[in-house]
Amino acid sequence: MEGQYSEEVMEHFRNPRNVGEIPDADGVGNVGNPVCVPDSTLINCNSSVAEIKDIKKGTAVLSHDGKYHTVSRIFRRLYKNPLMNIKVHNLGGVTLTPEHHVLALKTNHLRHKFYESKKYVADWYMAAELKKGDVILYPIPKEEAHLRSIKFDQPKLKHDFKSKDLPKELVITEDFLRLIGYYLAEGYVRTDKCKGTLGFVFGATERRLADDVISTVKKEIGLDIGNTRVIRNAINIEFYSARLARFFEKFFGKGAANKKMPHSFVLLSPEKQKSIICGLWRGDGYINKKGAKYVTISKQLAYQLRLLLLRQKIIFSFLKIEAKGMHKENYCIYVKEENSLKKLGQILGVSVNRPPKLRNTHKCWHDENFFYFTIKKIDRLIYKGLIYNLEVEDAHSYVGEALTLHNCGDIMRLYIKVDENEVITDAKFKTFGCGAAIATSSMVTELVKGKTIKEALSVSNRAVAEALGGLPKIKMHCSVLAEQALKSAIDDYLARKKKE
């Protein structure tokens, strides 16, 4: 037994038999469940996050392999039935149909999940199969952009005779990336037609950050400071350049709620991204021996920073605070785990020694490919409205706010070839689903080859499960689906031959 599956199941999962289709099949069976999420579900795509209803065909979304894959089809339908809301420690929650598959480990019965879960195999589980204490897998982004410079493509206006010449391209150095972090946290732009300002506002005690910005703009861009003002315990530094202001507005947004990074910066190497994190956290965060906190009102920037922290292997907690009164909706990121706090301290140039009693309780951990978060709570609710799903090329999965989702439930397509004596001479399958779904599909094709139609009709789900050395109780539905796929293919054959 490997984890929860028999050796025979694992063998058919790793090396499935009869995969593919029969172009001139005599019977084709289709079974499975459509799965979806509500229209407001947030999906990680190549422009940070977007609600699933706003995603277009051709958009690249983050998948379970840590890479971005293209959306090839978008489905939507009306739905009035129960949905499940799965809340995950550290990340948040996702609402989905009960049949929707989630990448997870069935570990709710384990007391020491961090140690014992290593014996278990990650698989795609229906939301209805998951319980509090199970562990979901969240991918660490793998793609990297080897960006050495960025073109300064803001032309001078026709009657601009005063502005200083600026570099034709800006080199992606640690200092420049830290400046970007400062801008995303504390920067602003004013972009009038013929004049503009790039500015930064720091607290009165953050003089060293203001000096860092001044020296960096001079070194990397060749522009001297235009003005410095101290107003109400704040240091306001300004650089006068309409072209530079338009450049920062174009690439990094204008206004605190609209700040974001271009996708190419989200794909920079983890080593380079440390400088962005440094500027961001120095501007809008704090760190001490008990923990660290970062706050922003930009949704896009908050979810982008989550991806950057995943790549640094920093364990964090993410919290969304609803708008109330004069306060806008904001997003908080906390870092408290000992090793993660030390990593963040090194990025910020701060030495942090967290008290031993506050060490991680292993509700979250990571390896090279995934972060592992435990399920905190599962609720059911009645929903009426549109729900959506995505077909994603190659990976067949997409990553939401807190879960990694398969783009379908267990869906089986089974093909049979039948000779004149009604003997099944060949059988093949195409299945999207969990390991048990693939194994049962593989086994049922093996069982029916050489049997007559009448004999094949007697192949039950229990026979499929027994041939695989047994299935866990929560995976018996996969053997039922295999039986249904077979009978659906036989029904199709009989219908074509006009037989009962």
Q: Which residues are catalytic?
A: 408, 478
Distance CA 51, CA 32 (A): 26
Report the helix count and the strand count for the chain, using DSSP H and E. Answer: 13, 26
Q: How far apart are CA 111 and CA 475, in angstroms?
A: 23
Query: Residue 121 has what DSSP assignment?
Result: P
Which of 385, 281, 290, 397 has the alpha carbon at shortest distance from 336? 290
Helix, strand, or coil here: 207? Answer: helix
Distances from the Cα of 364 to the Cαs of 2, 115, 134, 292, 443, in angstroms? 23, 12, 12, 17, 36
Number of residues that make up the chain? 500
Q: Residue 21 is encoded by which pair of tokens?
A: 């289709």
Answer yes or no: are the C-beta atoms of 437 and 479 closer than 8 Å. no
Residue in 127, 122, 125, 126 with CA at minimum distance from that of residue 137: 122
Given the DSSP bridges, would you call strands 397-399 and 370-392 parallel, antiparallel or unpaired?
unpaired
How far apart are alpha carbons 256 and 411 in whole angstroms?
Answer: 45
Joined together, the tokens standing for residue 286 give: 């704090």
Which uninterrupted H or E stretch holds 309?
A: helix 299-311
Count of CB atoms within 10 A of residue 119's CB?
Answer: 13
Residue among 441, 417, 428 nearest 490 (CA)? 417
Alpha carbons 294 and 284: distance in angstroms, whole number = 6
Task: Provide the 8-state DSSP code for 140.
Answer: P
